[in-house]
Amino acid sequence: MKIDERFAVQEFAARGRNSRASDQLAQQLQVAIAQELVPDVRRVAESIAGRLRALGHPVEELEFELEEQVGSVGVTFVDTSEGSERSHHRLRFNLDVIVSVGFPGYRDD
């Protein structure tokens, strides 16, 4: 999904402030933003991992998530040189980006 004219201010205005339709459009925008962030989050995380590797930490990407329903993008890097079980991990870092669109809790009624 791309950020395009579907999300113009007129589209939100046509649905009405604090309406269910406006909330649904905001949810769709949240998903579109999260999807658009995927390559940037991955690039930044890999850059950090590269710097950690240069310092001797053999971190590798363990998990990448795009959770569209909550509007989050996350990547986890772990040093599993001592073993793959969690208790053996020497270093772990997560980069999570949370996208929030709309005005939850800001209802007029």
Task: Give ∠ CA 14-16-22 in degrees, rounded to 5.
Answer: 90
DSSP state of 88: G
Taking Cα atoms as reference points, which of 24, 10, 15, 16 lies closest to residue 108? 16
Model pTM greater than 0.85?
Answer: no
pLDDT tens digits, one per residue of 65-87: 999 888 899 999 999 887 777 77
Amino acid, single-letter form, for residue 18: N
pLDDT band of residue 44 (cuts 50, 70, 90) is very high
What is the separation of C-alpha 91 from the centre of its chain, rounded to a whole number of angstroms? Answer: 22
* Domain ranges for the chain: 5-98
> What tokens appear for 42 in the block?
């991955």
Residue 90 pLDDT greater than 90, yes or no:
no
